[in-house]
Amino acid sequence: MKNMFIIIFIAILGISGCSQENKTVQATAGEQVTVELTKCIDGDTAKFTKVGTTRFLYIDTPESTRTIEPYGKEAAAYTCNLLKNANEIQLQYDGPKKDKYDRTLAWIWVDGKLLQREIIKKGYVEKFYDYGTYSYEAELRDLQANAQRQKVGLWSNKSGTTPKSTNNQIQKFANCTDLRKVYPNGVPQNHTAYEPKMDRDQDGFACER
């Protein structure tokens, strides 16, 4: 009889362990925090007051910092432009508030619009990181499918990373105002219009908004 109790106890522990290992996020978006931008890092990451480095929930944009992937710089420029020109930025939690790197996880609302939604519509999201069921998941997947059908952004079969001049000659602009008339979101370091003097924050991207 004692052996039978031991076997049952071990079985219960095993079931409990499996349930913890396979646990997924069943989230309901709720608490919102009004913050201010302190630094825009790339297409899906930024730093804000109160919460520090924040990874945008659910979306994954191409890399644009240590490595440069197609449309990485475009995604970063688009995101940073919206954040830097926002009148109000709010973060909305949806499940766990931190990832394993201690970054805040949140939906980002910019002047009442969900930033993740806007980035997807531009075609700058290459995939989703899906650890469970998030509140806006179904809608964002529909938007992604629509962006793919319309062949926008990285779905356009173009190589990305901001158009260059066709003859590869250096392009000269008097200042960022003039440059943005041709390249509204600025240009990366490998672009023929890039000049260090226009890259004031020395992030390898000139005249970004």
DSSP string for 2-39: HHHHHHHHHHHHHHHHHHHHT--EE-----EEEE-EEE
Question: Which of 17-31, 47-61, 171-185 is the least confident region?
Answer: 17-31
Residue where one domain finishes, among candidates 113, 128, 155:
155
- Please indicate, yes or no, if residue 40 is contained in any of the structural domains: yes
Number of domains in the chain: 2
Number of H helices, E strands in the chain: 5, 13
Q: Partners of 35 in the beta sheet?
A: 89
- Please indicate, yes or no, if residue 6 is contained in any of the structural domains: no
- Cα distance between residue 91 and residue 25, in whole Å: 18
What percent of the chain stands above pLDDT 90? 52
Which pLDDT value is given to residue 24?
A: 45
Which pLDDT value is given to residue 200?
A: 80
Task: Output the six-digit token pair for 85.
Answer: 């020109």
Q: Are residues 167 and 201 in the same domain?
A: yes
The secondary structure of residue 155, as a DSSP letter, is G
- Please indicate, yes or no, if residue 83 is contained in any of the structural domains: yes
Q: Are residues 45 and 105 in the same domain?
A: yes
Q: What is the mean predicted confidence (pLDDT) over 115-135? A: 92
Q: Whole-model pTM? A: 0.65
- Please indicate, yes or no, if residue 4 is contained in any of the structural domains: no
Is the per-residue pLDDT at 85 higher than 80?
yes
Is the per-residue pLDDT at 80 higher than 60?
yes
- Please indicate, yes or no, if residue 115 is contained in any of the structural domains: yes
Which pLDDT value is given to residue 125?
A: 97
Q: Are residues 136 and 184 in the same domain?
A: no
Range of the domain at 181: 162-209
Q: What is the mean predicted confidence (pLDDT) over 97-104? A: 93
Q: What is the mean predicted confidence (pLDDT) over 61-84? A: 93
Which pLDDT value is given to residue 177?
A: 86
Q: Are residues 143 and 166 in the same domain?
A: no
Q: What is the mean predicted confidence (pLDDT) over 153-167? A: 61
Is the per-residue pLDDT at 137 higher than 60?
yes
Catalytic residue set: 55, 63, 103
Task: Output the six-digit token pair for 80.
Answer: 């940073």
pLDDT bin (cut points 50, 70, 90) of residue 190 is low
Is the per-residue pLDDT at 14 higher than 70?
no
- Please indicate, yes or no, if residue 21 is contained in any of the structural domains: no
- Cα distance between residue 56 and residue 82, in whole Å: 14
Q: Are residues 133 and 61 in the same domain?
A: yes
